[in-house]
Chain A
Amino acid sequence: MNINQFLQHALTGISVGGCYALIAIGYTLVYGILRLINFAHGDIFMIAGYFMIFSFAVMPFPIAILVTLVATTVLGILIEKFAYSPLRQAPRMSVMISAIGVSYLLQNLATYLFTALPKAYPAIPGLKQVIKIGDISTSLVTILTPVITILLVVLLLWLVNKTKIGMAMRAVSRDYEAASLMGIKLNKTISFTFAIGSLLAAIGSILYFTDRMTVFPFSGSLPGLKCFVAAVFGGIGSIPGALLGGFFIGICETIIKAVGLSTFSDAFTFIVLIVMLLIKPTGLFGEKNIDKV
């Protein structure tokens, strides 16, 4: 591998990593608040892909993007309302099973409505434009993804640390009961968390599928799992951790594929999980989070 090839792969990795980071944040936020592995999150990401395909077919692309973002956010909120909020007092395993149930439902619904065959993802004008930097050629979306990701994370950190609703989110994730005793509206805060998670997943979905070009009912399941691992890697509950985890997994995966071991690129993610649990179960930024108290 010469230096140019390496840079090329690194760029691709950073781009994939950006998408992963956006999804991983959704996992980290939800786990932080409900201690729930939201198995349906990857499928929300997949459904966002279909939203884009269908809205793009009937309206101009800026509006289609807007519709996709809004629809996905609403979907996330609805899932929480119907499938998770009735189980607030139930054992954690019931909620996890409910999450699997939603995932199962979304996948089967997508298969039923859109068939199991991959559907072509629309090309958003300009995004696939080829850009040349020295000897490296890449598309605009590849460059744009990490930039957008980092901007969004900065925005999110501001939201979580400086606004009232952000404070509520942090309070709920620290102590559920105490927060509600302090007058924080639990349901509203949880809905808001799901809204943010789903919105970021929708943005991630647009960037991811623009690059992959097709969507099918299971295209969310594996990226979903990987992003959860990314969140664990960075330290579950930590937003910068999810960002770093996403980039780490994305870059490593791309490099593994580049050296011809693509069969094991998926396996790698789970080895990361196991190794991380062995050496630092709290993740990279896990402990910092505890110190914040």
Chain B
Amino acid sequence: MNKMKFKDKINIDLLIYIAIIVVSVIVLMYLDMNKFEYNYAISIIEKSLVYAVVALSMNIVTGFTGLFSLGQAGFMALGAYTTAILTIPVAARPNVYYMNGILPALENVVVPIPVALILGGLVAALFAALIGIPVLKLKSDYLAIATLGFSEIIRAVIASPMMDKITNGSYGLKSIPGFKSSIECFVFSLVCIVLMILIINSSTGRDFKAVREDEIAARSVGINIFKTKQLSFIVSSFFTGVGGGLLAMFMRSIDSKTFQITLTYDILLIVVLGGIGSITGSIVGAFFVTAGKEILRFFDEPLVIAGTEVPLFKPGFRMVIFSILLMVVVLFFRKGLLGGKELSVKVFKKHSRKKNEDNVSEGGKE
């Protein structure tokens, strides 16, 4: 009987998810059809989707495995450059690499976008494996510093003259094929998000959580914590890389400055506001922060009320507000705005179920 209950619950959740997806698709199709009118809204939605992918990937390693990695910008750069290099139309290349030319081996290499995105993810995952071996084996404490440093190295290498013929050095890459429609962006992001949710809720994901909760206890039930941490870090970096590729498609032109440390901090902001260890939190947080930044854009413009300029309003004010918001959440709402819970029917159902459970246990006691 209980098993049936369990199945019912899955079905209701699944139905709701499908409903959300269907509604989203309809809304996006409507927006796509009226592209010119809703250009701004579309771009906010696309950016939010991309950030949701990256935020969730950061949450895998930070929220679910308890490792603090700050290499997001670097892994995104790897994914973005890989995707860009492999998808910029051959005809456009001389124009992109107008200064130094392109490496002959790469001149005519073009792969379909999904393949390029996956390759971008794989490159990021490979580098994650290389950094992870020394750092995760010894002191995951230093992972934050090592990944932050790595992120800066990647940026330096990309911009270096030696990489001119591949990354176009400090000139950056442009003419990257963008999303043909917001639906395309939605589909790519959705696939990533669904895969990540499946991983988090699988036995692998449970191992991640066990490592986060208690390393010694995890080992005592046979979990190899180094392998588990390494796997989590690699998986997370893979999706961060794919997210970087999506960002390249969204922006259509990238350079090494796109991937500064502040990008990592922006993503951390989303993860923390949404709640560390909350899947829905990362997704909702991505929309909240991205849209919020756009809506608060007027904060950066001089504001004139009744002929006098309000002194607070000038460039950078928005980011100060977001920094303060971050500090407030860290200090007073440690579980994020969603309180570490998942937003779903489960939350509501749990309450009623809990009551029943309580009755049972009371009855069971002597």
Contact = CB atoms under 8 A, between A and B. Distances in A.
A and B directly contacting (CB within 8 A): yes
A83 B324 CA distance: 11
B161 interface: yes
Given A87-B331, A102-B327, A263-B161, A112 B152 contact: no
A277 B327 contact: no
B265 A100 contact: yes
A277 B141 CA distance: 11
Nearest to A84: B331
A112 B323 CA distance: 12
Given A97-B268, A111-B319, A112-B316, A263 B157 contact: yes
A274 B134 contact: yes
Interface in B80-135: 131, 134-135
Contact of A112 (B68, B276, B317): B317
A109 B320 contact: yes
Interface in B308-364: 314-317, 319-320, 322-324, 326-327, 330-331, 334
A37 B149 contact: no
A87 B333 CA distance: 12
Given A97-B272, A263-B160, A267-B156, A277 B149 contact: no
Contacts of A37: 141-142, 144-145
Given A96-B68, A112-B316, A269 B149 contact: yes
Given A93-B62, A264-B156, A105 B320 contact: yes
A277 B319 CA distance: 35
B268 A277 contact: no
Contacts of A97: 68, 268, 272, 276, 330
A277 B138 contact: yes
A108 B323 contact: yes
Interface in A102-134: 102-105, 107-109, 111-113, 115-116
Interface string B131-174: 10011001101101110111011001101111000000000000
A166 interface: no
- Majority-rule SS of A interface residues: helix
Contacts of B142: 37, 232, 273, 277
Interface stretch (A2-10, A141-149, A170-178, A222-230): A222-230
Contacts of A35: 141
A60 interface: no
A44 B262 CA distance: 17
Contacts of A266: 152-153, 156
A142 B316 CA distance: 35
Contacts of B159: 263
Contact of A222 (B134, B145, B152, B327): B152
Nearest to A281: B138
A278 B131 CA distance: 11
Interface string A175-203: 00000000000000000000000000000
A111 B145 CA distance: 24
Given A83-B331, A229-B149, A263-B157, A104 B323 contact: yes
Interface in A71-110: 82-83, 86-87, 90, 93-94, 96-98, 100-105, 107-109
A92 to B, nearest CB: 8
B261 interface: yes
B66 interface: yes
Interface of A: 35, 37, 39, 82-83, 86-87, 90, 93-94, 96-98, 100-105, 107-109, 111-113, 115-116, 218, 221-222, 225, 228-229, 232, 263-264, 266-267, 269-270, 273-274, 277-278, 281
29 contacts: A37-B141, A37-B142, A87-B330, A87-B331, A93-B62, A93-B68, A94-B330, A96-B144, A101-B323, A103-B265, A104-B326, A105-B324, A105-B326, A108-B323, A111-B316, A115-B315, A115-B316, A229-B145, A263-B157, A263-B159, A264-B157, A267-B153, A269-B149, A270-B153, A273-B142, A274-B134, A274-B135, A277-B142, A281-B139
